[in-house]
Amino acid sequence: MKKLLLAGIVGLLAVTGTARAGDAKAQYEQTCAKCHGADGAGDTRMGKKLGAKDYTDAKVQADLKDDVAFKSIKEGLKDADGKNLMKPAEDLSDDDIKGLVAYMRTFKK
């Protein structure tokens, strides 16, 4: 009985993890892809205009720390003149933002 219960819990956690990964992808596509591109390369009209980084580039990925990416998503980004480059993610929980950072890491080639 204990083994069956343990197997059920492990299975539930696996499904939950998969759902979260799917949620991060959906959230990325909804809120980030218009600038950063579906593949994370930043090769969109808006991405080029705003200077979005190419997250498929291994060096860009290595230079970007998770805490900095998290803060950028949570608080947004401004240029030197105070102009908004990226709006803060007001409707996302901290876990959602962590999921976005993890999903962004999958773009590295």
Domain count, the chain: 1
pLDDT single digits (tens) 33-75 = 999 999 999 999 999 999 999 999 999 999 999 999 999 999 9
Q: How far is 87 from 18, CA to CA, in rounded Å?
A: 28
Specify the pLDDT at position 20: 55
Widest distance between CA atoms in the chain:
64
Cβ-based neighbours of 39, under 8 Å, separated by 6 or more:
56, 107
Contact of 73 with 97, CB cutoff 8 Å: yes
**What is the extent of the structural domain holding 88?**
2-105
Contact of 106 with 39, CB cutoff 8 Å: no
Q: How far is 60 from 68, CA to CA, in rounded Å?
A: 13
Answer whether residue 85 shows pLDDT above 50.
Answer: yes
* pTM score: 0.76
Specify the pLDDT at position 6: 38
Here the CATH number for the domain that contains residue 69 is 1.10.760.10
Specify the pLDDT at position 12: 38
